[in-house]
Amino acid sequence: MLAVVRILALGVFIVVMGIIGCLFCLMRPFHRDNTRLFAHIFGYMHRILGLRLEIRVPQQVRDGGPFVYACNHQNSWDIFTLSGALPKNTVTIGKKSLVFIPFFGQLYWLAGNILIDRKNKGRAHGTITQASTAIKQRDISIWLFPEGTRSYGRGLLPFKKGAFHTAMRAGVDIVPVCVSNLHDKIKLNRWNNGVVIIEMLKPIPIQNYRRENIRELMARCHELMHAKISHLNEEVAQREGRQLTADDVVSGDKDEV
């Protein structure tokens, strides 16, 4: 019964907020802070899912920017957890097909997020230029998932180069964003689904790297995130009074696929 109530609540929320959000964004389409505003509203829905969310942001990130945020991507529940952590004046990059999702897709587009065609590799590479130009011209940050796909319990997947090329072209630092394990954590019929921690790390200075050693930058970011996610999973397990599970053990290869 609880699962039915939650599904209905989420469905009604997405439709209502999609309509309200589209109307609002029509009054200021593609404004640089639209995404953050509605992301935080979506983020409140973690409570409906029975989650306790803890967000940690270092002072260097609060006071700085713009940045390229590099975050691990686990599953479709991310929208109700990560949304609450989105900083001001930040947009995301998503698949062009998102625009066809009723209500949510139109809001996503009008909010000013960048849409790419995953099937067209040429256009996808052009997105790096589009994103880096947007950072400089609109004074915005970009939130990216360097794994390029959801991990679904496979640990921290290898990173692709797009996020790092974007940061280099824009000349902005990279902020790793680490999220504790969410795989198989949410049971819709369970009232309390525990704790999720989102922690941003200190910015990685982009001036310390050149295009020729971009793999070193990728490896450094992967290493930092891998270690922090493992630590967060241990902390969550301790706070929830349970042993680490196989899902809490972070595996993953840092090399690009």
- Per-residue pLDDT 10s for the chain (257 aa) are 899 999 999 999 999 999 999 999 999 999 999 999 999 999 999 999 999 999 999 999 999 989 999 999 999 999 999 999 999 999 999 888 888 888 889 999 999 999 887 666 666 567 888 899 999 999 999 999 999 899 998 999 999 999 999 999 999 999 999 999 999 999 999 999 999 999 999 999 999 999 999 999 999 999 999 999 999 999 999 999 888 887 777 776 655 54
Instruction: Name the token pair of 59.
Output: 């002072």
Domains and CATH numbers, the chain: 2-248 (3.40.1130)
Q: How far apart, in whole angstroms, are the C-alpha atoms of residue 169 and residue 171? A: 6
Query: How many other C-beta atoms are found inside a 10 Å radius of the C-beta of residue 114?
Result: 17
Strand partners, 76: none
pLDDT at residue 255 in the model: 56
The rounded Cα 213 to chain-centroid distance in angstroms is 25
pLDDT at residue 236 in the model: 96
pLDDT at residue 253 in the model: 64
pLDDT at residue 257 in the model: 43
Q: What is the largest CA-CA distance in the chain?
A: 56
Q: How far apart, in whole angstroms, are the C-alpha atoms of residue 224 and residue 229? A: 9
Q: In which residue are the tokens 């599904």 written? A: 7
pLDDT at residue 120 in the model: 63
The identity of residue 134, as a single letter, is A
